Structures are given as C-alpha cells and as structure tokens.
Amino acid sequence: MEAVVFLNVDIGAEDRIMEELAAIPEVKAVYFVYGPYDIIIKIDAPDVEKIRSIVRDKVRKIEGIRSTTTLVVAKSHVKTSPPHA
C-alpha cells in the first residue's frame, strides 16, 4: 500500500528534513517542491495502520515539520520510461 504525504516545514530546514525523511526505510521518495507545500514524500507500507504509525511516530516527530497531509493511494498506474538511446 502506498501513501503520498505533503509537508509544510520551517524555512531553511528543508535539506535537513529531506535527509531525515530519506533515512526512514518506508519512505521511497522525497521531493522538494514549490507551491502550497514544501516537501512531498512517498511511503510504502503493508497497510493503512502502518502508514498511520509511520507518519505519526517517525515523520511528524522530525523537528521543523509544521504540518502534514496524508493521501492513501487507492489505485495507481506507473509509466515506465523507455530505455535511453
């Protein structure tokens, strides 16, 4: 099961927070973005309860994270890139 988490973080703490998020085994991708959120992460876990515990016990405990919004993926389609010539 996958989830996408949108984070608002303290100004100037983005790089440190990204490193801490990347160190969480269930976090599969970390993106710094421009817009209403500062960082987006993708989480892979066996079930919704595990996603909830990762966000609550690992992600939200990182100093400098002001807020999180979690979206659980209901269905996905991932495009694969053709090999580069």
Q: Does residue 85 lie in a domain region?
A: no
Number of Cβ within 10 Å of residue 85's Cβ equals: 3
pLDDT digits (tens, 9 = 90+) for 21-32: 999 999 999 999
Q: Does residue 16 lie in a domain region?
A: yes
Q: Does residue 19 lie in a domain region?
A: yes
Q: Does residue 30 lie in a domain region?
A: yes
Residue 64 domain boundaries? 2-44+60-72
The string over 28-58, giving b where at least 16 C-beta atoms fall within 10 Å of a residue's C-beta and e elsewhere, is eebeeeeeebbbbbebbbeeeeebeebbeeb
Of the candidates 41, 37, 48, which has an alpha carbon nearest to the alpha carbon of residue 22?
A: 41
DSSP class per residue in 62-82: STTEEEEEEEE-S------PP
Q: Does residue 14 lie in a domain region?
A: yes
The overall pTM is greater than 0.85:
yes
pLDDT digits (tens, 9 = 90+) for 24-65: 999 999 999 999 999 999 999 999 999 999 999 999 999 999
Total domains in the chain come to: 1
Confidence of residue 85 (pLDDT cuts 50, 70, 90): low
Q: What is the pLDDT of residue 80?
A: 87
**Could you tell me the CATH number of the domain that includes residue 39?**
3.30.70.920
